[in-house]
Amino acid sequence: MTESDLIFKPVSELATLLKARKLSPVELVRAYLNRIEAVDPKVHAVITVLRVQALEQAHRAEREISSGHYRGPLHGVPYAAKDLIATKGVRTTNGSKVTENWIPDYESTVTARLNQAGAILIGKLNLLEFAMGSGQSGLIGPARNPWDLSYSPSGSSSGSGAALAAGMVPLALGTDSGGSIRGPAKSCGIVGLKPTYGRVSRFGVTPLSWTLDHVGPMARTVADVARMLQVMAGPDPQDHTAAAMPVPDYASALNRKVKGLRIGVPDGYFFNHVHPETEVALRKAIAVLKDLGAVTVDVTIRDAALCGAASACILHSEAASFHQKRLKEHADLFQPLVRERLEAGTFYAATDYIKALRFRTVLMEEMRRVFEMCDVLMLPAGNAAPKLEAEIVGTDVPTKPPPEPRPDSFNLANVTGIPSLVLPCGFTTGPPILPLGIQFCARNFDEAALFRIGHAYQSATDWHRRTPSLTA
Amino acid sequence: MTTNRRRIFQTLTIGAACSGLSASGQEPEPGVDALRSVATAHGVQLSDERLRVLRPVLNRRQPQSQALRDFAIDDHVAPTQGIIPDK
């Protein structure tokens, strides 16, 4: 089996080969390290490559599996983490000159759990500075979209999306406070999950906004995302926001049929500004799911248009609070856009912040009402048009004329905490030829419903099997 | 009836905010002196150069912030800080 055969295989297949000792973890890790070496100079997805450490762990995994100590479906499987997730003894930059030499003396809970399951960390991934900058400056410059290197992979988990699409890693960790997992998932044609707030511990993850932040799995298939979440989820004494909720067996959810599953389709607002080809792709995706037995239900989400304002107030206020000391001491080291947003965040009144949190309560209640009518909610995977990297502006100062505000179909899940999954559902006809995405949301802690519908869709389609023609 | 009226008003308010207009008409845009006063009151020291950078950013946010302020919420609704009850 050649390295190019290996790198785009789903983890479900890799795990079968590893368990049966038809594939060595060392061979697998080497394949991805070689791929990183070959294509990352173009893609800029990886900040730190852990060649020596990863190969040592691969040898250890090989010994364990050979001696009958197989830990489970992630044993010997490489992964990489967005570089704001603390890894003990490994530089964790937050994509920022402010913390570019930080070496944590502790391990985040998510990486500790993946490591315990036998997964092998092979790199730390590029991101927008502190998960809130633009891609333009940053520590190593912007990650590129493997489908078209002149386009952005979106952010802030830009390196996670780009690395997966380019075949540099089979699994990745991202974080999402307003679409930062789901945007790159859509732009890069991979799968990203923002779990329910509290489903996954955030201990050791640099905050952007405590009440909007989520850590989540990213991969090329829904089944692989489910495998990751199985390991990552659950309560954590080191994070009081990690809920004491039982973690179901997600593998069994994958094989449940979607017959009778109610898909809520919201009215107009969320579809404003959606790319015409996206709209067609979403309709076709729904048709596929209806053919499989799902039913659609029209729903209205009241007051959703205020979600962006509430999210901005909460996010910028909390980020300004978190970075208060760093901003005072190292303002010049922040990217201009991040500095601008943090400084502007200090102008929100406490009453505005509290009002935004009260609006959150209203919207959470509204989502409870919506999910009485449907089991999952379908939304576009963002409303922004694909962005040329060169067109990304590193400031929030309005242009003339200012761009017309777009609806935001990502913030709804962050503000209310509901889980949300993005997966590929087509491609633009181009040029440029770029992935299109579909988003599903579900009730709190019902990630299983998302895996059920996502896996059914991927079993009936092949969008997730396509790979960019990025040459090494 | 009251609820419907409230809904209609709020929809119009939000719509206005999303089109870049304040629901309550043209609000005066705060100048650098006003921003300096607010920053000082918040315990933040920003140079006039920084305030000049921030002024258009803050003014751009104003309609959305105002829409959030104008949004009517029943008195019994308390803030949620993100922690979802285990139920």
Residue ranges in A323-395 assigned as alpha helix (H): 324-330, 336-345, 350-373
| pTM as predicted | 0.93
How distant is the Cα of A23 from the closest Cα of chain B, in angstroms?
42
DSSP state of A80: E
Describe the strand order of the beta sheet including A171-175 as a list of residue ranges.
Answer: A46-49, A120-125, A78-82, A171-175, A215-219, A191-194, A420-427, A435-442, A376-380, A262-266, A295-299
Centre a 10 Å sphere on the Cβ of residue A395 and count the other Cβ atoms it contains: 16
List of chain A residues whose C-beta atoms are within 8 Å of the C-beta of residue B20: 402, 404-405
pLDDT category at B3 given cuts 50, 70, 90 is very low
Number of domains in chain A: 1
* Cα–Cα distance list, A244 to A94, A317, A377, B86 (Å): 29, 28, 25, 7
Active site residue A156: yes
Strand A262-266, strand A295-299: pairing: parallel
- Which one of A137, A156, A311, A317 is the catalytic residue? A156
Q: Which position has the higher pLDDT, A95 or B84? A: A95
Centre a 10 Å sphere on the Cβ of residue A144 and count the other Cβ atoms it contains: 24
Active site residue A67: no
Is A328 within the bounds of a domain? yes
Statement: residue B87 has pLDDT above 50: no
For residues B65 and A356, the answer to whether their CB atoms sit within 8 Å is: no
Domain of A174: which CATH number? 3.90.1300.10
B→A contacts (Cβ < 8 Å), by residue, are: 7, 10-11, 14-15, 17-20, 35, 38-39, 42, 44, 46, 50, 53-54, 56-58, 60-61, 64-65, 67-69, 71, 73, 77-84, 86
**Tens of pLDDT, residues B38-68:** 999 988 999 999 999 999 999 988 999 999 9
Is A309 within the bounds of a domain? yes
Is A394 within the bounds of a domain? yes
List of chain A residues whose C-beta atoms are within 8 Å of the C-beta of residue B10: 303
List of chain A residues whose C-beta atoms are within 8 Å of the C-beta of residue B35: 347
- Which one of A9, A82, A186, A194 is the catalytic residue? A82
- Please give the pLDDT value at position B24: 46
* Cα–Cα distance list, A123 to A159, A214, A360 (Å): 10, 20, 36
- Please give the pLDDT value at position A270: 87
Statement: residue B14 has pLDDT above 90: no
| DSSP bridge partners of A122 | none
Is A443 within the bounds of a domain? yes
pLDDT, mean over chain B? 75
Please list, in sequence order, all residues whose beta carbon lies within 8 angstroms of the beta carbon of residue A182, skipping any fewer than 6 positions away.
Answer: A176, A192, A194, A381, A382, A410, A420, A422, A437, A439
List of chain A residues whose C-beta atoms are within 8 Å of the C-beta of residue B56: 397-398
Who among B20, B54, B64 is closest to A343 (CB)? B54
B19·A404 Cβ contact <8 A = yes
Strand A420-427, strand A191-194: pairing: antiparallel
For residues A84 and A127, the answer to whether their CB atoms sit within 8 Å is: yes
Q: How far is Cα A85 from Cα A108, in angstroms, rounded to an integer?
A: 6
In chain B, what are the domain boundaries?
A: 2-70
Q: What b/e sequence results for B34-72 when a residue is b if at least 16 CB atoms lie within 10 Å of its CB, and e otherwise?
A: ebbebbeeeebebeeebbebbbebbbbbbbbbbbbbbbe
pLDDT tens track of chain A, all 472 residues? Answer: 788 889 999 999 999 999 999 999 999 999 999 999 999 999 999 999 999 999 999 999 999 999 999 999 999 999 999 999 999 999 999 999 999 999 999 999 999 999 999 999 999 999 999 999 766 656 888 999 999 999 999 999 999 999 999 999 999 999 999 999 999 999 999 999 999 999 999 999 999 999 999 999 999 999 999 999 999 999 999 999 999 999 999 999 999 999 999 999 998 788 877 888 999 999 999 999 999 999 999 999 999 999 999 999 999 999 999 999 999 999 999 999 999 999 999 999 999 999 999 999 999 999 999 999 999 999 999 877 777 776 666 677 666 655 555 667 999 999 999 999 999 999 999 888 999 999 999 999 999 999 999 999 999 999 999 999 986 5
For residues A143 and A162, the answer to whether their CB atoms sit within 8 Å is: yes
Statement: residue B13 has pLDDT above 80: no
How distant is the Cα of A199 from the closest Cα of chain B, in angstroms?
10
**Domain boundaries, position A19:** 3-465
Active site residue A180: yes
How distant is the Cα of A46 from the closest Cα of chain B, in angstroms?
31
- Which one of A108, A137, A158, A180 is the catalytic residue? A180
A211·B17 Cβ contact <8 A = no
DSSP secondary structure string, A210-238? TTT--EEEEESSHHHHHHHHHHHBS-BTT
Nearest-CA residue of chain A relative to B39? Answer: A347
Is A471 within the bounds of a domain? no
The reply to whether omega before A435 is within 30° of 0 (cis) is: no
